[in-house]
Copies of this chain bind each other. A is one copy, B any other.
Amino acid sequence: MSYTLEPIGVVYSCFTTKFGIPRQSGLARAAKATIEFYPPFDQASAFSGLSQCSHLWVEFIFHEFHISEFRPRVRPPRLGGNQTLGVFATRAPNRPNRLGLSVVKLEHVEIEKGKARLHISGHDLLNGTPVIDIKPYVPYADSLPEAQNTIAPAPPALIPVRFSPQALEQCNHEGTRLGQALQPLIEQLLGQDPRPQYQTPDPARRYAMTLFDLDVAWHYWLEGDTHGVEVVSVNRVTVPKG
């Protein structure tokens, strides 16, 4: 017995490739996206009342992960990549049915010509992500302050993020062009330290992630026991449209 899922819509997101996407929603509040819906799911009446909700569950497909067979164990990047956990103890994307689940802030329900489009923030969704359901967050049922998860008890510790003078100028310039508050977004993303945790933060190594149509490059600096990020360039590149 199997079921057929039909995507109801698609995410248009600042995250144009996988590397650097926060590992949960809510970690980069400056991250914005829109969800557009396919007919007949785009009818404004299907969203009537939704603006009374501050947050939404987005159920989606991890469409860029392809698994040929079930693997019961995963190596979460958060645990350094050298420790395994059962896939059902994690939110790892390489899971049966490839189902993703994220709670996001609902910024605005836009209605144009009877069609709805949702503006969200604080998300962790790759551009082009197929959406299979939207549900309101119901605080009395969903918010469980007493819940415990000792695998992931707290958000990842943030590391400091600096910009080189040139990178800051580029960031301001590109942010103006895109109409986006780029600097806080980059600070929130790189503050999560997206480097694979088994790599030591080597100042000689250059890292980069794409964001919108930008290549954001950084290296790590070390000062005593602490390390941080210095953004070295924010350059426009040509990215295939998702």
Where the two chains meet, the residues of A that have a C-beta atom closer than 8 Å to any C-beta of B are: 1-8, 24-27, 40-41, 43, 45-50, 52-55, 57, 59, 61, 70, 72-73, 84-91, 95-99, 101, 103, 130, 132-155
Contact = CB atoms under 8 A, between A and B. Distances in A.
Contacts of A6: 2, 96-97
Nearest to A146: B54
List the 9 closest A-B pairs by CB distance, nearest first: A49-B89, A46-B72, A48-B86, A24-B141, A50-B89, A49-B85, A54-B148, A3-B5, A45-B72
B8 A97 contact: yes
A3 B134 CA distance: 17
Nearest to A90: B136
Nearest to A155: B140
A88 to B, nearest CB: 5
B89 A73 contact: no
Q: Which of A25, A46, A146, A152 has the most CB of B within 10 A?
A: A46
A70 to B, nearest CB: 5
Contact of A147 (B98, B137, B153): B137
A135 B52 CA distance: 27
A144 B143 contact: yes
A48 B75 CA distance: 12
Contacts of A97: 5-6, 8, 132-133
A189 to B, nearest CB: 16
Given A132-B99, A139-B148, A48 B24 contact: no
A234 to B, nearest CB: 28
A48 B85 contact: yes
A178 to B, nearest CB: 27
A181 B140 CA distance: 25
Contacts of A40: 70, 72
B96 A59 contact: no
A134 B5 CA distance: 18
B8 A59 contact: no
Contacts of A49: 85-86, 89-90, 151
Contact of A103 (B5, B53, B144, B152): B144
Contacts of A43: 72
Given A8-B97, A97-B5, A141 B46 contact: no
A8 B3 CA distance: 12
A18 to B, nearest CB: 18
